[in-house]
Amino acid sequence: MDYKPQLTGLFGTPVAENPSVVMLEAGFHALNLNWRYITMEVQPENLGAAVGGLRAMGFAGINCTVPHKVAVIQYLDDVSPDARLMGAVNTVRREGDRLIGENTDGKGFLRALREDGGVDPTGKRFVVLGAGGAARAMTVELALAGAAEIIIVNRTAARALPLVNLLNENTPVRAGYVPWEETYAIPPETDVVVNTTSIGLYPDPNKPDIDYDTIMPAMVVCDIIPNPPQTRFLDLAAARGAKTLDGLGMLVYQGAIGFKLWTGHDAPVDVMRNALAEAFGVK
Active site residues: 69
Helix (H) or strand (E) run with residue 153 in it: strand 149-154
Nearer to ligand NDP, 94 or 199 (CB): 199
Nearer to ligand NDP, 6 or 258 (CB): 258
Distance (Å, rounded) from C-alpha 168 to C-alpha 26? 40
Question: What does the per-residue mask of binding to ligand NDP show for 223-252, with x meaning CB under 6 A?
Answer: -xxx--------------------x--xx-
**Omega into 179 within 30° of 0, i.e. cis?**
no
The one segment of 9-17, 46-54, 77-85, 124-132 that binds ligand NDP by CB under 6 A: 124-132
Distance of CA 168 to the CA centre of its chain: 21
Going by the DSSP 8-state scheme, the letter that residue 242 receives in this structure is: -
The residue whose Cβ lies closest to ligand NDP is 132
Distance (Å, rounded) from C-alpha 266 to C-alpha 280? 24
Nearest approach in angstroms of CB 226 to ligand NDP is 4
Task: List 102's β-bridge partners, or say none.
Answer: 91
Site for ligand NDP in 197-216 (CB under 6 A): 197-199, 201
Based on the shown chain and the rule CB under 6 A, indicate whether residue 159 belongs to the binding site for ligand NDP.
yes
To 5 degrees, how large is the angle CA 147–CA 150–CA 156? 150
Based on the shown chain and the rule CB under 6 A, indicate whether residue 134 belongs to the binding site for ligand NDP.
yes
Distance (Å, rounded) from C-alpha 281 to C-alpha 271? 15
Distance (Å, rounded) from C-alpha 72 to C-alpha 51? 8
Based on the shown chain and the rule CB under 6 A, indicate whether residue 101 belongs to the binding site for ligand NDP.
no
Nearest approach in angstroms of CB 197 to ligand NDP is 3
Based on the shown chain and the rule CB under 6 A, indicate whether residue 162 belongs to the binding site for ligand NDP.
no
Nearest approach in angstroms of CB 101 to ligand NDP is 16
Task: List 175's β-bridge partners, or say none.
Answer: 150
Nearest approach in angstroms of CB 196 to ligand NDP is 6
Torsion angle, alpha carbons of 23, 228, 145, 219, to 10: 150
Nearer to ligand NDP, 147 or 251 (CB): 251
Based on the shown chain and the rule CB under 6 A, indicate whether residue 183 belongs to the binding site for ligand NDP.
no
Return the residue of 131, 147, 256, 257 that touches ligand NDP, per CB under 6 A.
Answer: 131
| 105 φ/ψ angles, rounded to the nearest 5 degrees | -60, -55
Task: Compute the Cα dihedral for 224, 226, 230, 231 and give only its sign.
Answer: negative
Please report, as ranges, the residues that interact with ligand NDP according to CB under 6 A: 105, 108, 130-135, 154-156, 159, 196-199, 201, 224-226, 247, 250-251, 254
